[in-house]
């Protein structure tokens, strides 16, 4: 075989293998979505229910824990103080759950499901699995699920910046990407036998930043505000999957509510705090949703003491550590939660309002720059 032909074939094989290893598979995530999503990874077996995980074993895990001398227990104590009794049998097949009520407070919506927490948990897992959406986090102890970043692209006509990139890579249009991530949090409802399901959205979009000379710079990912309409749409699909009729779900989610929630950020020389003009039960709920939207990993919570135990996850921090290719096309799934510091978000009832502070590991008020940023982010989500 001629040497030139051999080299050409070798180059062709190398290009094919490289493309197979780098270019992700493009599929439609949800059937009635108008855009196609580029998934980071196909849903894996971690979404499957282990054969030995039965209703009996779950109920044993959910047994009420012994409270502390102060009369309180964290949510994690709810499961860790009881040893699971290994059950037998196959994976659970849950019947439809039709008794679902939509609650709304301003732009915030959540579901009250008349079913045990464990049933709603498995139903939600099945929902993500059926739609081939991978979960980066699933913690039944705290009741948290977090999806991978779901990316979709739309072509736009080039401007002075995108046109230069198009000339480099070819083509007359530029593909602009946005990325969505959803978090589900489950809590036992105020009424016995019910579960409250909160779903929140986080978004990022790709921006082209020009350098000082006017030339096109590197594409970067920036955070964009939560999209409440996307939250409502995902809640609708989840309701239909659970067993609610589609038209009924649309009507329930479209209902309006009263005025918006309000908060005030108090900034002093030696103390910062957030004042929510709501009584504690309502303030506790909206603070939890604000933490979800703000990108905080809720590791535990103690409603009796009014404390959320959180770590802050800034998605832009990891982008600063990545190279040009990773910034240009964010295919990686290596987003990491900041494990360095745990913060305590403390809520205290004060008349008809609620005061929110950040505490350090010793339970003292934290007035650091990070604590102020946490309160500012919460205020932006609640106000």
**Any idea what the CATH number is for the domain that residue 225 is in?**
3.30.530.50
In 3D space, the residue among 206, 222, 205, 147 whose CA is nearest the CA of residue 181 turns out to be: 147
Burial class (CB in 10 A: 0-12, 13-18, 19+), 206: buried
| pLDDT at res. 351 | 87
Same domain (yes/no): 157, 266? no
**Number of residues in the chain:** 383
Q: Which residues pair with 18 in a beta bridge?
A: none
> What is the reported pLDDT for 126?
95
Cβ-contact 205, 176 below 8 angstroms = yes
For residues 155 and 162, the answer to whether their CB atoms sit within 8 Å is no
Residue 272 inside a domain? The answer is yes
Q: In terms of domains, do 253 and 209 share one? A: yes
Please indicate, yes or no, if residue 4 is contained in any of the structural domains: no
Same domain? For 207 and 113 the reply is: yes
338 and 351 fall within a common domain: yes
- Sign, Cα dihedral of 361, 367, 370, 372: positive
Give me the residues paired with residue 182 across strands: 201
The answer to whether residues 229 and 281 belong to one domain is: no
Q: How far apart are CA 290 and CA 272, in angstroms?
A: 18
Q: Enter the tokens of residue 365.
A: 């008020």
Q: How confident is the model at residue 193, as a pLDDT?
A: 92
| H runs (alpha helix) in 201-311 | 228-242, 246-254, 280-293
**Same domain (yes/no): 33, 150:** yes
Domain carrying residue 172: 29-45+93-258
| pTM for this prediction | 0.58
List per-block mean pLDDT (blocks of 10 residues) for the chain, which spans 383 residues.
50 43 38 37 41 36 42 50 41 72 86 95 95 93 92 56 39 65 92 93 84 68 87 95 93 73 78 90 89 84 91 57 38 40 91 92 86 88 82
Q: Which residue has the tokens 């589900």?
A: 184
In order of 1, 23, 213, 287, the CA distances from 366 in angstroms are 74, 45, 43, 18
Q: What is the CATH number of the domain that holds 314?
A: 3.30.310.170
The residue with tokens 């407070």 is: 105
Residue 211: predicted pLDDT: 65
Tokens of 139: 């913690």
CA 18 to chain centre: 32
In contact, 94 and 58? CB cutoff 8 Å: no
Q: Are residues 349 and 281 in the same domain?
A: yes
């Amino acid at each position: 075989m001629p040497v030139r032909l051999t080299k050409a074939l070798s180059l062709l094989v190398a290009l094919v293998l490289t493309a197979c290893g780098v270019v992700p598979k493009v599929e439609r995530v949800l059937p009635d979505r108008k855009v196609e999503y580029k998934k980071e990874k196909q849903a894996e077996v971690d979404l499957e229910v282990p054969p030995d995980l039965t209703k009996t074993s779950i109920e044993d895990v959910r047994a009420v824990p012994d409270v502390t001398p102060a009369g309180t227990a964290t949510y994690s104590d709810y499961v860790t103080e009881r040893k699971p009794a290994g059950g037998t049998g196959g994976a659970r097949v849950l019947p439809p759950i039709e008794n679902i009520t939509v609650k709304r407070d301003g732009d915030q919506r959540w579901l009250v499901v008349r079913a045990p927490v464990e049933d709603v948990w498995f139903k939600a897992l099945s929902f993500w699995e059926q739609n081939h959406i991978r979960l980066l986090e699933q913690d039944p102890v705290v009741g948290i699920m977090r999806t991978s970043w779901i990316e979709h692209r739309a072509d736009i006509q080039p401007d002075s910046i995108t046109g230069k990139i198009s000339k480099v890579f070819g083509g007359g249009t530029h593909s602009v990407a946005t990325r969505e991530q959803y978090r589900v949090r489950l809590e036992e409802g105020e009424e016995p036998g019910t579960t409250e399901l909160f779903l929140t959205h986080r978004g990022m979009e790709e921006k082209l930043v020009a350098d000082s000379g006017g030339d096109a710079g590197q594409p970067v990912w920036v955070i964009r505000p939560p999209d409440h309409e996307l939250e409502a749409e995902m809640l609708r699909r989840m309701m239909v999957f659970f067993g609610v009729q589609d038209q009924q779900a649309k009507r329930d989610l479209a209902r309006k509510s009263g005025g918006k929630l309000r908060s005030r950020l108090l900034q002093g020389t030696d103390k910062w705090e957030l004042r929510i003009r709501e009584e504690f039960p309502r303030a506790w709920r909206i603070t939890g949703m604000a933490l979800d939207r703000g990108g905080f990993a809720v590791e535990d919570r103690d409603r009796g003491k009014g404390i959320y135990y959180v770590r802050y996850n800034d998605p832009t921090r990891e982008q600063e550590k990545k190279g040009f290719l990773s910034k240009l096309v964010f295919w990686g799934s290596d987003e990491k939660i900041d494990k360095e510091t745990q913060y305590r978000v403390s809520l205290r009832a004060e008349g008809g309002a609620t005061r929110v502070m950040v505490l350090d590991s010793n339970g003292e008020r934290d007035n650091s720059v990070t604590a102020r940023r946490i309160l500012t982010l919460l205020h932006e989500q609640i106000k």
